[in-house]
């Protein structure tokens, strides 16, 4: 049971649109998987199926070896949603309160935050560089700052498996870089397993261990070395247009 996530023959359709077709997919323990694909290719849909927010019509999904219908340990999983900042911006909650809410699953019903939990909250906020804003209301922050708060909320419970759906949308270059460095650190030092949806293929190939290319079907799934050997034509056919994969060299 070395797979954190196993997806077997999952298909999903919205009312009349097939979005995922016969997906087989696995995330081994300790992996850092980059999931890429063009807009509308079903990446967010796949993540929602994993998180039980949507129910696939066919197929089975296992988390930590358990079918998700029976899976109970949701606190082992952290999640940053693609549209994290679609919340009610008038909501009276401080950065601290929002990040602390990431501990709810781990604490369980009826429990309150202990000293050690409070420390974890401060550390998570510090890790995304939001300490100066800790007592600000979340609605009074910029979009990128809010996104960093949601990242802190996802990592505060030190999940074993962290799922991120384009977490760096709206985050500036400097903080994107330090965020990717942080992900690498979490993966290498804390042995956190990561599944990251991104359009930033160039950057992630330096950090990830595996890459998956989704466009309704899973077109490619393998190690980053295998991915690097893919021909530009393969990628272009998958994306449906030409892609300058190596254009990030100057970085």
Ligand X SMILES: Nc1ncnc2c1ncn2[C@@H]1O[C@H](COP(=O)(O)OP(=O)(O)OP(=O)(O)O)[C@@H](O)[C@H]1O
CA–CA separation, 66 vs 238, rounded Å? 32
The answer to the question of residue 64 lying near another protein (CB under 8 A) is no
Q: Which does 132 bind (CB under 5 to 8 A by kind): another protein, ligand X, Mg ion, none?
A: none
CA–CA separation, 105 vs 77, rounded Å? 9
CA–CA separation, 232 vs 74, rounded Å? 39
13 beta partners: 18
Out of 14, 39, 70, 110, which residue is the one contacting another protein (CB under 8 A)?
Answer: 110
Residues 13-72 that bind Mg ion (CB under 5 A): 43-44
**Through-space distance between the first and last CA atoms of the chain, rounded to whole angstroms:** 39
Residues 125-164 that bind another protein (CB under 8 A): 135-137, 153
CB 234 within 8 A of CB 221: no
CA 222 → CA 13, 67, 156, 210, 226, distances in Å?
25, 23, 30, 6, 6
The answer to the question of residue 94 lying near Mg ion (CB under 5 A) is no
Residue 89 Cβ vs another protein, minimum distance, rounded to whole Å: 11
CA gyration radius, the chain = 18
Residues 170, 172, 148, 206, Cα dihedral to 10°: 100
Out of 62, 79, 180, 238, which residue is the one contacting another protein (CB under 8 A)?
Answer: 79
Out of 25, 34, 36, 43, which residue is the one contacting ligand X (CB under 6 A)?
Answer: 43
Residue count at the site for another protein (CB under 8 A)? 33
The answer to the question of residue 174 lying near another protein (CB under 8 A) is no
The answer to the question of residue 14 lying near ligand X (CB under 6 A) is yes
CB 18 within 8 A of CB 57: no
Q: Which does 52 bind (CB under 5 to 8 A by kind): ligand X, Mg ion, another protein, none?
A: another protein
Interface contacts to ligand X, rule CB under 6 A: 14, 17, 19, 37, 39-45, 82
Interface contacts to another protein, rule CB under 8 A: 51-53, 72, 74-75, 77, 79, 81, 84, 87-88, 90-94, 96-98, 101-102, 104-105, 107, 109-112, 135-137, 153
């Amino acid at each position: 049971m070395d797979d954190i996530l196993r997806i077997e023959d999952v298909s999903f359709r919205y009312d009349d649109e097939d979005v995922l077709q016969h997906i087989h997919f696995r995330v081994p323990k300790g992996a850092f998987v980059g999931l890429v694909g063009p807009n509308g290719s079903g990446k967010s849909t796949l993540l929602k199926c994993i998180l039980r927010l949507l129910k696939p019509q066919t197929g089975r999904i296992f988390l930590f070896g358990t079918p998700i219908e029976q899976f109970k340990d949701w606190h082992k999983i952290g999640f940053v949603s693609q549209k994290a900042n679609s919340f009610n911006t008038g909501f009276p909650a401080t950065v601290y309160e929002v990040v602390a809410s990431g501990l709810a699953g781990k604490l369980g019903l009826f429990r309150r935050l202990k000293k050690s939990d409070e420390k974890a909250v401060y550390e998570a906020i510090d890790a995304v560089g939001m300490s100066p804003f800790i007592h600000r209301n979340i609605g009074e922050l910029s979009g990128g700052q809010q996104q960093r708060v949601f990242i802190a909320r996802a990592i505060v419970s030190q999940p074993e498996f962290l799922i991120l759906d384009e977490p760096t949308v709206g985050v500036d270059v400097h903080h994107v870089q330090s965020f990717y460095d942080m992900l690498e650190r979490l993966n290498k030092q804390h042995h956190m397993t990561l599944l990251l949806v991104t359009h930033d293929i160039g950057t992630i190939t330096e950090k990830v261990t595996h890459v998956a290319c989704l466009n309704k079907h899973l077109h490619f799934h393998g190690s980053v070395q295998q991915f690097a050997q893919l021909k530009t034509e393969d990628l272009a056919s998958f994306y449906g247009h030409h892609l300058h994969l190596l254009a990030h060299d100057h970085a």
